[in-house]
Structure 1
Amino acid sequence: MTGRRRWSTEEILDTAAELLRTSDAESFSVRKLAATLGTDSSSLYRHFRNKTELLRAVADRVLLAAMDGYRPEGDWKQRITALALRLREAFGEQPQLAAIWGRYASGGTGSRLVMEELLQALRASGLPDEDVPARYHRIVILLAALIASEAGISALTPKEYDQGMEQFRVAVLGADPERFPALARYARDIRPLGADRHAAFEELVAAQLARIEAEIR
């Protein structure tokens, strides 16, 4: 009698990534992954101890892809900006995984490569060594939040996006000026969260780096 096929770690992660393209971390389960692979959950637990460890491994592959072929160029600000844009692009191709990275983090090789480059760039900035970890932490929090926000919008279906835009218009343009005077005043200039998010991403990263530069000076 032929036994069940043994799946490699990479094959398991490939399938998990595909499932996560059309679902989220909450609805994803090891049991569902096992059913897709035509095996049982116990066989997957030989590779990963639990769901969280599996999700971290999937997110780490995105970080690895972002760092593939990366070479540090320019000054410290250019290096961090280039890295931020690479991360945004990588998670933009797999938006469902952006929230997983922000929530579960990762301790894999991809994560270590990102951490190393950020820390090296901050050291090159002239910051005192004792200030580098705190500044690193602020930058990572900012990137994770911005990337997850962008990904959340890009993961919407056209119908969901249109519904959201309609609700935004009703909420803003239909605001009662007596109860919401500031909102009524600026209603025609207020833009939805998804508008110009690429420009906003770069502006916020640049502002954080400018703050660090001002402290050094």
Structure 2
Amino acid sequence: MARSPLTRDEVLEAAAALVKQHGPAALTMRKLAAELGTAVTSIYWHVGNRESLLDALVERTVQDMGAISPTGRTPAERVVSVARRLRRELRERPHLIAMVHERGLTERMFLPAQQALVHEVRAAGLHGTRAADAVRAIQFQIVGFVLVERNRERSPVQSPAETDLWEPGALPGDPSLSRALSRPPDPERLFLLSVRALATALLGPPSR
């Protein structure tokens, strides 16, 4: 059975998969052609040279990051939904995000998520500088959390580990706290805890 004609979208999908798994250095036209079962000349015909391919991947990543739709009944819930989706997108494609950053398109990439946050903080009654501060604080929390996560994942093995530093008797009068600190952190739980607390504080009545 004859193979259907190769499309540009298929080329970009395969290229994105290679970059996600192995990083930009692993993306060669020959390897991409092998993945697709086609000739190298066919890849060039669809996307041009390697630099043009990388540019197309960056543009595709920027567009993919724009597909964030808030969910939830309240502005705070919808802010949390945007934060969770953005964190997931950033964690799933670190190499592609790095390529976007290297080409100076990071702010453009984050604009759709920022616009979604603007809509929700305005729905909560915030305007002007207070609204702008809320949007940026939430955005910084998301990006900063992801950076800390990745740094912890890539750091060398620690000795003693964080979990070794809190023995049961380390905090007299509060053994449950010692036990909790001796367990590995749950990043998903901590992320939701921090974003919900931040959203609730920022979208609530101003402090006096």
Answer whether TM exceeds 0.5 for this pair: yes
Q: Looking at CA atoms only, which structure, 1 or 2, has the larger radius of gyration?
A: 2
TM-score bracket, shorter-length normalisation: 0.5 to 0.7
Contact 1:59 1:106 in 2 (8 A): no
Q: How far off is 1:119 after superposition?
A: 0.8
Q: How far off is 1:122 after superposition?
A: 1.2
Contact 1:126 1:216 in 2 (8 A): no
Q: How far off is 1:208 after superposition?
A: 1.5
Query: What amino acid is the match of 1:100?
Result: A
Q: How far off is 1:142 after superposition?
A: 1.3
Does residue 43 (structure 1) correspond to residue 48 (structure 2)? The answer is: yes
1:114-144, Cα deviation, whole Å (9 max, x unpaired)? 2221110111122222332232222112112
Aligned to 1:60: 62
Aligned to 1:121: 120
Distance 1:115 1:150, change over 3 A: same
Distance 2:111 2:149 in 1: 23
1:22-68, Cα deviation, whole Å (9 max, x unpaired)? 223xxx14x834232344889236846xx5x4563353354245x2x
Task: Let me know the Cα RMSD of the aligned residues.
Answer: 4.3
Gaps of 5+ in 2: 34-39, 172-177
Aligned to 1:96: 94
TM-score, length-scaled by structure 2: 0.62
Aligned to 1:197: 187
Aligned to 1:178: none
Aligned to 1:212: 202
Distance 1:191 1:100 in 2: 34
Percent of aligned pairs with the same amino acid: 14
Aligned to 2:85: 86
Aligned to 1:139: 138
Distance 1:185 1:73, change over 3 A: closer
Distance 2:64 2:151 in 1: 16
Contact 1:59 1:100 in 2 (8 A): no
Query: What amino acid is the match of 1:203?
Result: L
1:65-95, Cα deviation, whole Å (9 max, x unpaired)? 5x2xx35442211110112222334455x25
Gaps of 5+ in 1: 176-180
Contact 2:118 2:135 in 1 (8 A): yes
